[in-house]
Amino acid sequence: MVAKVIDGRWIAKEIREDVAKQVSKVKKEYGFVPNIATVRVGSTPESDIYLNLRDKACEETGIFSCHVDLPENASEEEVVDAVKNLNEDDDVHGVLIQLPLPSHISHDTLISILHPKKDVEGLHPVNLGKTLLGEEDIVPITPLSVITILDYEKTKYEGKDVVIVNHSNIVGKPLSALFLNRNCSVCVCHVYTKDLKKYTRNADILVTAAGVPRLITKNHVKKGVFVLDVGIVKTKEGVCGDVDFSSVKEIAGKITPVPGGVGPVTVACSLKNMLKTFMKCVGEKHR
């Protein structure tokens, strides 16, 4: 048996079409569209690629995307001021902080001063706290895209053995909360894990976001597992994920490819969150 290969581009298209419908509805109702600002300090080729993809998706769905570009050598104070200005600007309905940031700028600081209602990425402590509590409101984008794919595949969660390879604040920790909220048994592994195989072989659902090409081989997985590959690394042979796709797909039940799997869904989920912050901003004004 060969795994079903998940078409992330198709799922992303469905989400984008749904967002576009809602945007045209709010445009009629309020007379304007969501206006989302991305704060960028310096730039890298990778962040430029991602930003271009997102901007294109915004354009297609009718969301207005603007950039606040600061130079690589901007002080933290200057970036903080830029975020504060966006907080106070009623014409801005959502803010993203583009990663990577220069090392002298703290991402945590920027996120914590951002108004929670404008926090498109769902990373403000109060939004993360709600995610942990099961009051999922603005959920971090990558975890949201993983759950979105599983939901599209009508996955039953209760009692499933889930393994996540990543324990970052942006992916592993909030994603673990999402699975616990759905009554899965959840293991979180990472670079310090003694015996990764011991964990991954037990997984019904395996999410990997290590950024290590071919970390997960056919020896790491159980027959029928649903593999979601969040890793994206540029190698000489092109973009590849954490999973040795050709061997793992012989054993897995379902698998997301790289590219064309989780990535496009992540972009689409960021649009969903933009619409959410918009509704919070205009909802408050019209109360």
Nearer to its own copies, 93 or 182 (CB): 182
Q: How far is the CB of 191 from its own copies (least distance, A)?
A: 8
CA distance 240 to 234: 6
Shortest distance, position 19 Cβ to its own copies, whole Å: 26
169 or 219: CB nearest its own copies: 169
Q: Can you tell me the distance from the alpha carbon of 131 to that of 261, in angstroms, rounded to the nearest whole number?
A: 24
Tally: H helices and E strands in the chain: 10, 11
Using CB under 8 A, which residues numbered 158 to 217 contact its own copies? Answer: 158-159, 161, 167, 169, 172-174, 176-177, 180, 183-190, 192-194, 198-199, 202
Cβ distance to its own copies smaller for residue 172 or 257:
172
If binding is defined by CB under 8 A, does position 132 make contact with its own copies?
yes
Contact stretch for its own copies (CB under 8 A) within 130-138, 143-151, 222-230, 255-263: 130-138
State the Cα angle at 271 between 267 and 272, rounded to 5°.
115
The correct pick among 1, 21, 59, 125 for binding its own copies (CB under 8 A) is 125
Six-digit token pair at 73? 């050598």
Q: How many residues of this chain interact with its own copies, rule: CB under 8 A?
A: 37
Coil, strand or helix at 186: strand
Name the E strands within the chain: 4-5, 35-41, 64-70, 94-97, 161-165, 185-189, 205-208, 226-229, 233-235, 238-240, 254-255
SS (H, E, C) 245-256: HHHHCCCCCEEC
Q: How far is the CB of 258 from its own copies (least distance, A)?
A: 24
**Interacting stretch for its own copies, rule CB under 8 A, among 47-55, 127-135, 217-225, 237-245?**
127-135
| Nearest CB to its own copies, comparing residues 19 and 188 | 188
Q: What is the DSSP letter of 39?
A: E
Binding interface with its own copies (CB under 8 A): 108, 124-130, 132-135, 158-159, 161, 167, 169, 172-174, 176-177, 180, 183-190, 192-194, 198-199, 202
